[in-house]
Amino acid sequence: METIKLQEIFDAKIDRGDMIEPKDWMPDDYRKTLIRQISQHAHSEIVGMLPEGNWITRAPSLRRKMVLLAKVQDEGGHGLYLYSAAETMGISRDEMIEQLHSGKAKYSSIFNYPTLTWADMGAIGWLVDGAAIMNQVMLQKTSYGPYSRAMIRICKEESFHQRQGYEIMSVLAAGTPEQKAMAQDALNRFWWPSLMMFGPPDASSPNTAQSMRWKIKRETNDELRQKFVDRTVPQAEFIGLTVPDKDLKWDEAKQSYDWGTPDWEEFNNVIKGNGPCNKERLGARVKAHENGAWVREAAAAYAAKQQQKVAA
């Protein structure tokens, strides 16, 4: 069947809101966009284990340690789901890992900031997972089947991540003045980088318009960012913390907040690899991959032996 007809069938499916499945014909650029987005999403989950993993041995109680351990393990599982979803589009795991390690592929900017105090574990769960949930709930309705199904599974675990983070911040904010100051400091350092997680403004996003037409995205970067601000500011106020934005103001007519502008120069710098922790994060991933080579070799040798047995 010629390409024009195939394109018409694809477009009709997208218009109807049907899911595109791995075996369906799809435009090369649709496939390329999804390989880029899903693999970078997976990289974000795996690299995202590092800032929190940094505090597992220093959690203030056994309960906090167990909860943080469970969360970090969840993130690893989310990464594997997403790598598998990306593989359905014809890219290999090795290729994706090589793209991450060589710096060709991105991962979420937020993970290039240091985690300096225990309150940062609360800010990450509350704000970073809160922002990720905002984005991932939307992606449950993305037009590519395997990605949508991975999101449905992942979102169930993300809500626990966000709640445990907000609980840490609530307990600290209600604690001693030093604890409240630690929570406020974490909010000050993670507020703006969390807003940058949604991507550049729609006006300067090279991918959003086309991703909306293909129903890969169902809401734009700015729409999700605004929803996140509207939902999160009252949560900060409820526990007595102050959002670090002097332009933040409730607009009664719009029933939403007006607020300041993220430092997009900082954002572009971080995604170019010049953030506070980019080198450390990538170095840790490369080292872990190298240290794990023997496991991959042993598994491959075992699989080959099993194949020989079956073939004999």
Question: In the complex, which residues of this chain contact ligand 3HC (CB under 6 A)?
Answer: 36-37, 40-41, 44-45, 48, 75, 78, 106, 108-109, 128-129, 132, 135, 158, 196-200, 205-208, 211, 221, 271
Phi-psi region of 103 (alpha: psi -120 to 50; beta: other; left: phi over 0): left
Of 47, 78, 72, the residue nearest 289 (C-alpha): 47
Shortest Å, Cβ 300 to ligand 3HC:
29
Query: Which is nearer to ligand 3HC, 184 or 211 (by Cβ)?
Result: 211
List, in sequence order, the alpha helices (H) in the chain: 3-16, 28-47, 49-53, 62-87, 93-102, 119-123, 129-139, 145-173, 177-196, 208-213, 221-238, 264-269, 278-291, 293-311
Question: Which residues, in sequence order, are bridge partners of residue 20?
Answer: 144
Shortest Å, Cβ 202 to ligand 3HC:
8
Shortest Å, Cβ 38 to ligand 3HC:
8
Query: Which is nearer to ligand 3HC, 65 or 218 (by Cβ)?
Result: 218
Are the C-beta atoms of 198 and 221 separated by less than 8 Å? yes
Residues with Cβ within 8 Å of residue 293, at least 6 apart in sequence: none
Query: Which is nearer to ligand 3HC, 37 or 180 (by Cβ)?
Result: 37
Query: Which is nearer to ligand 3HC, 43 or 180 (by Cβ)?
Result: 43
Query: Which is nearer to ligand 3HC, 48 or 146 (by Cβ)?
Result: 48
Question: In the numeric block, which tokens belong to residue 82?
Answer: 């997403």
| Residue whose pair of structure tokens reads 């609360």 in the numeric block | 122
Shortest Å, Cβ 112 to ligand 3HC:
9
Shortest Å, Cβ 134 to ligand 3HC:
10
